[in-house]
Amino acid sequence: MNVDQQLIDQLAHLSRLSFDAETGKEMVHDLNRILSFVEKLSEVNTDGVEPLIYMVEETNVLREDVVQLEITQNEGLKNAPKKDSDYFRVPRFVDSE
Amino acid sequence: MYKSLAETRSAIESGETTIEGLTRYYLQQIADKSSLNAFLEVFQQDALNQAIAADEKRKLGNPGKLNGMVIGIKDVLCYKGHKVSSSSRILEGFESIYTATAVQRLIDEDAVIIGRLNCDEFAMGSSNENSAYGPVHHHLDPNMVPGGSSGGSAVAVAAGLCLATLGTDTGGSIRQPASLCGITGLKPTYGTVSRWGCIAYASSFDQIGPMANTVEDCAIILEVIAGPDEHDSTMIQKPSPAYSQLLKSEGPVKIAYFKQYIESEGLDTEIKAYVLQLIEKLRAAGHTVEELEFPYLDYVIPAYYVLTTAEASSNLSRFDGIHYGYRSKNATDLESTYKLSRTEGFGKEVKRRIMLGTFVLSSGYYDAYYSRAQKVRRMLRDHTNNILNSYSFILMPSTPGTTFPLGGKSSDPIQMYLEDIYTVQANLCGLPAISIPMGQHSNGFPFGVQLVGGASKDSDMLAFAARLQNDFV
C-alpha cells in the first residue's frame, strides 16, 4: 500500500480535517510508515475465521422504556459555541432564494 | 503520608487526622508540586465540602466504603458542573452536564474527588506528551515521562498528591504508566465498569480502572465502581462480587508465561532477569510456572492500531464545532466550520489516528485492514482463552523498559506504539490485567510486572496479585 498526497486529501475530506502542504507531507510519511507496520496482519491465515465484533457475551440488554428527564434543553445548549434561546446556531447552508 | 486506605482509616480512627485535614494536606501537596503538571484542575471547594460531609458521616457511625479516600480522576471522566477536556483544545471550557457512573459511585461511598488529572489527548499516547496542556513530568526526574495515557493519574499517586486515582485503559493506559511510576494499576475485564460518562476513544477496548499504591486499594475501588448500569448496555449483567472481601489466595497455582515475550529483543535485559527470577521464586514456593509458545506477539500491536483507530475515527466525529466544544473563528460556511474547528482543535496524534481509522474503514480497504484485524482479534482471544482454561494466570512484563526522556520517542509513532507491546493483549481479548511494582532498575527508576487473568475472574487475579505484592516482590 502506498499513500500519496491524493489519498491524504481524500481521507482528510472524509475525516473533515485539512492539512497544509507541510502537515500533508508529514501525514503521507506517517501513514505510509504505520501502514507498512500494520500490513504484518496479512501474514496471518484468517480463512474461515469470523470477525470479532462484540466483547461481551450478553445479547439484547434491554430496559423498560420509561420517560425520564435527564438533560434539559438549557443543559443541552450550555456548551454550544453559538446558540440562541432555543437552537444551536450554524452558518447559513441553504440559499435564501 | 498514608499509603493505603487501611492506614488512612486507622489514622483517622486514632484522631491523628480528619478527612478534612487530609484533604487540606493533599491540596497543599498539589500546590507545592504543581510543576509536575499532574492536575489540570483542583476542585478545592467541592473537595473540602465532601471531606467535611465524610467526616460527619463517620462520626454518625455510617461511613461509606471509601470514607477517608481522596481520589483524583482522569480528565476523560464527566463530573456534573465541572470541566472536562480530554486534555484537548477542542473541549476547552466544556463543563459536564452529567456525572460518569464510576465517579458517582465513588461519591456515593464518601470518596473526596480532589481534581481532574492530565493525560494524553483523548487518551491517545504512551508518554503523556500529547496533552494540549503540556506534558506531565515523572515524579523522580522532571526530564523523564510518566508514561501514558493516564500519566497524571500515575504521578499523582506516586508523588503523594492523593491516595488513589481513576484512569482509563484502552491498550495499556493504566498499566504502562503504573509500571513506569512504581504504582499498582488495574484494568478490569471488559464490561465490568460502566463507560457512561467516560469520553470514548475506542469503545470495544476502553475500561475505567483504579490506580493506587496497593492491590487492596484497587480492589476496594473496583468493588465500588463495578457492576451493571442501565446507561451502558455493553456491560456484563451479572452483579459483580465484593472484590475486597475475596483477597485470600491459598495453595499452589498454575501460571503460564510466553517465550516470545521474554525473549523479545525490545525487552530490557534487567527487567527480563527480574521476571525470570520471579518465576524461579514462584516455582520454589510450589507454584507451577510453565513456558508456552505465543506465536502472535508481532500481530498484537498492528491489530490494536487498526481497530482502535477505526473506532476512534467514528467516536471523534461528534466533535463538529457546533454542538459543544471549540468552533473556529475562521469558518465561513458549514463545511469549513467542521474542517477548521477539528483541524485547529485536535492535536497531531489525534489527527493521525483519525486519518488511519478513516483509511481502514474506507471502501476498498475495509476488508484488507479492518475486517482482517477483527478476525485476528478473534484468533488472539480464542488462543488466549484456551491458555487460561489450563492456567490461572499469564505472567509477563508490564513494559519493555523503564521511563524514557521527554521527547525521546515522540518523533517516531511506531517506537511509541511499541511501549504497549505487553499490555494490548488484555484489551484485544477483553481480559483483566494488573501491573504491580516489581523493583528498581539500576538506572534508579521503577518498573512493574503484569498478571493477566481469565475473563470475569478479576477477583482471583486480584487475590493472587495481592499475594505477589505482599510475599514475592
Tell me the β-bridge partners of B288.
B254
CATH fold group of domain A5-41: Histone, subunit A (1.10.20)
Q: Which residues contact B234 (CB under 8 A, 6 or more apart)?
A: A54, A55, A56, A58, A61, B191, B195, B203, B204
Distance from CA of B22 to the nearest CA of A (A): 34
SS3 annotation, chain A = CCCCHHHHHHHHHHCCCCCCHHHHHHHHHHHHHHHHHHHHHHHCCCCCCCCCCCCCCCCCCCCCCCCCCCCCHHHHHHCCCCECCCCECCCCCCCCC
Give which of A4, A56, A69 to mutate to test B binding, by max B Cβ within 10 Å: A56
Per-block mean pLDDT, blocks of 10 residues, chain B (473 long): 96 97 98 98 98 98 97 98 98 97 98 98 97 98 98 98 98 98 98 98 98 98 97 96 96 97 94 97 98 95 97 98 96 96 98 98 95 98 98 98 94 88 98 97 98 98 97 87
State how far residue A1 is from chain B, nearest Cα, in angstroms: 10
Q: Is the pLDDT of residue A60 over 90?
A: no
- On chain B, the residues whose CB falls within 8 A of the CB of A82 are 322, 327
* Contact across the interface for A35 and B359, Cβ inside 8 Å: yes
Q: Does A48 touch chain B (CB under 8 A)?
A: no
pTM over 0.90: yes
Domains of chain B: 5-245 (3.90.1300.10)
Which residues 26-85 of B are in CB contact (within 8 Å) with A?
none
Q: CB-based contact (8 Å) between A5 and chain B?
A: no
Nearest to A15 among B233, B299, B313 (CB): B313
Interface test with B, best of A3, A10, A14, A41 (most B CBs within 10 A): A41
Active-site annotation holds for B74: yes
Q: What is the pLDDT of residue B366?
A: 96
Task: For residue B338, give the 3-state DSSP assignment.
Answer: helix
Closest residue in chain B to residue A36, using alpha carbons only: B302
Q: Which amino acid is at B145?
A: V
Cα B85 to Cα B96: distance, rounded to the nearest angstrom: 9
